[in-house]
Amino acid sequence: MKISFDPTVSRNSQSFGINKDRQPIVAGNWKCNMTSQQALQFAEDIQPKLNKYNKPGADKNSPTLVIAPGFLQIADLFNTLSQRLMIFMLGAQNGHYKHKDAYTGEVSMEQLKEAGVETVIIGHSERRANDNETDEKVNLKVKKALASGLIPIACVGETRAEREAGRTEEVISRQVVKALSDISSEDISKVVIAYEPVWAIGKGATPCSTDEANRVVGNIRELVRETYGDKADEVRILYGGNANPDNISDLMIHNGTPTEIDGALIGGAALDPVKLASMYDQTAAAWETVKA
């Protein structure tokens, strides 16, 4: 994949906005929160709010709800939400690129798959910063996830220092190109990308504006298009970084125009069933508007 990412040009005009054919994703990343007891309580609390989506075809016709709990809570959500909500897709926050090998403390993609996991977050900025998750490892994990039948959610995002140095496009291009290295055009539509500017993540941080998030997400899609052509229109690209019930609708439809953003990767707000259900409802409403 070649890099020609022009920082001065917003290519959104070439793209189509949230798309009737691109099923949005509302994904909660629980990080290192929630005991099993709390996870089960969360499942009890959110399920009645989302039962209304349990209609034939809902797994395709409504946005996908993902929750990526800690490894030890995967079985709790598998036994509850995976069994009860058609829109639900069980996630994990990480997975290893090797199986049956000497990697003490790791959990393989095969093991996740066997536990009922369907999608896995890869390259979250916290893992890039704290756990030596390099671009190369991200790529190995994306490929291993696909080979194991999991949907990878590959995270990319610039730090505040990189943004202030005018390096946003360079960093995002590098991360996207490396993450997608050797992914076949058959597999590309299964890959989900999450644009998560590091400076917008976490308590007290200010979310990225919709205009800016949309600009970067649009540029990521055009970068994918350089290698994969029109298949780029099938790739879901999410925004993450203080996505919440107050900004999710605007992230999807801004000033009456559908954006390029296909949903959100949500940290803090995903710990509250009321907030996560509201974000799901708003995303579903936005997609209905686009499909109408």
Active-site residue list: 124, 196
Identify which of residues 219 and 242 has a Cβ nearer to ligand PGA in the complex: 242
Distance CA 51, CA 84 (A): 8
Residue ranges in 21-60 that form contacts with ligand PGA under rule CB under 6 A: 29
Q: Tell me which DSSP letter residue 51 carries.
A: G
Which stretch in 4-12, 38-46, 99-107, 262-270 sits in contact with ligand PGA by CB under 6 A? 262-270
Binding mask 214-243 for ligand PGA (x = CB under 6 A): --------------------------xxxx
Length of the chain: 292
Place of tokens 């994306």: 142
Q: Identify any residues that bridge with 119 across adjacent strands, giving them in sequence order.
A: 91, 151
The answer to whether 259 touches 42, Cβ cutoff 8 Å, is no
Using the contact rule CB under 6 A, the part of the chain among 59-67, 95-103, 178-186, 195-203 near ligand PGA is: 195-203
Options 133, 169, 196, 222; binder of ligand PGA; rule CB under 6 A: 196
CA distance 143 to 180: 8
Give me the 68-97 binding string for ligand PGA, x by CB under 6 A, dash otherwise: ------------------------------
Dihedral angle computed from the Cα positions of residues 271, 274, 277 and 283, in that order, rounded to the nearest 10 degrees: -100
What torsion, rounded to 10 degrees, do the Cα atoms 277, 282, 285, 286 define? -140
Among the candidate windows 71-79, 96-104, 173-181, 266-274, which touches ligand PGA by CB under 6 A? 266-274
202 touches ligand PGA by CB under 6 A: yes
Q: CB 279 → ligand PGA: shortest distance, Å?
A: 10
Residue 201 interacting with ligand PGA (CB under 6 A): yes
Contact between 267 and ligand PGA by CB under 6 A: the answer reads yes
Q: Does 263 bind ligand PGA (CB under 6 A)?
A: no
Which regions of the chain does DSSP assign to beta strands (E)? 25-29, 64-68, 88-92, 119-122, 151-156, 192-195, 236-240, 253-254, 257-258, 263-266
Binders of ligand PGA among residues 120 to 149 (CB under 6 A) are: none
Q: Which residue has the tokens 């707000």?
A: 269
* Residue 285 CB, nearest approach to ligand PGA (Å): 21
Residue nearest ligand PGA by beta-carbon distance: 267
Nearest to 175 by CA among 200, 158, 151, 198: 158
User: Which residues here bind ligand PGA, judged by CB under 6 A?
Assistant: 29, 196, 201-202, 240-243, 265-269
